[in-house]
Structure 1
Amino acid sequence: MLKSLRCTVRHLLNTDLNTFIALVNDLPSRGDYFSSHFKSPEAMRREFLQNGFVSEDSELFVVEDQLHHIVGVVTHFKSRTPVSREIGYRLFDPSLAGQGYTTEALRLLCDYLFKVHTWHRLEVLSAPQNEASVRVAQKCGFSEEGTLRQAFFINGHYQDVKVFSLLRPEWERLHSA
């Protein structure tokens, strides 16, 4: 379990599963930057029973507020290169935007990944128009590298995606300051 003053980042528990499935499948909370594909509740239950949403390829964490409500999700997964991990995050309730949950969750996850694993590079991919996501990455020390043109197909449209990265030496400098 990873903790900050604002939130806790932890693995999903069996007692969270029904709430989590409902939050993941809540289409209005997805906005313009997440796919509108539903995930089968039964398939999600099977995957959770099989591995708890944790494998060598990916690890999912829920983000909960101080009252122990699940407010978001943060995950890391296999990237294009063997020394990297890609990170994804999502806040479930748009009314919580701007309160720092996602930024703190990303910081906690970056600290965990660099302290516990040998990864050299962390990546965040974001739609250029998703200003909140871009801000979160930048506040956590990620640098913009460029744009992958029409690399995502979301809700019937090809979309550009910006690539941000944080290298281990950059993270170490942030922590020594």
Structure 2
Amino acid sequence: MSETTAETTELTSQYSAQVTGDLERNLKEQERLSGEIEALQAQLTALQHDHTVLVNLQQALGIPAPAAAPAAESAASVPAARKKPPEAAKQPAAARKRTGKKAAKAPAASSASPTLVDLVREHLAGQSEPRTAAEITSALGQAHPERTLKTTVVRTTLEGLVAKSQAQRTKQGTSVFYTAPDATQPVPAAPTGSQSEPANA
């Protein structure tokens, strides 16, 4: 009986460790997906805002615009943008949603409202010292009160920039700091034509 009990205890221990590991991975994946969903929601909100502004401008200019026409055109443009239209019908809903994400990003880049990636990149470029994701979120929130920004979304965006070598990440203790790729380089000197040093402002 004692051997059976020992084996049962060992199996229970192994399963417990496996379940704990699976739970940790599950939570991390949930957090990652939540961040992506929030980022996409922010982009969608910006696009909806731009759409409202454009519709108001259109009405102010007196341009006739049937309500059904834009919807029909946008629906027709999605398959046209794909290289292999016949495969779209075979794709599961999740894959078609991913395609929709790519289509939604294109208008955001061409609209007057900059994307979150652009805002984060520009903010980092203007900083002389490393900043945490929370500090960057706070600064962007003050500079763009019309946007609803969350630290998890900004952190996901920062990690994306780091992966593309468009930002640098450093760790000090438990805190993670982000800088622009050239933040460590010295400030460019005055033009070679001027021999005197500029006065401190």
Q: Assess same fold via TM > 0.5.
A: no
Larger-Rg structure: 2
Q: Which has the higher helix share?
A: 2
TM range (shorter): under 0.3
Q: What TM-score, normalized by structure 1, do the two folds share?
A: 0.27
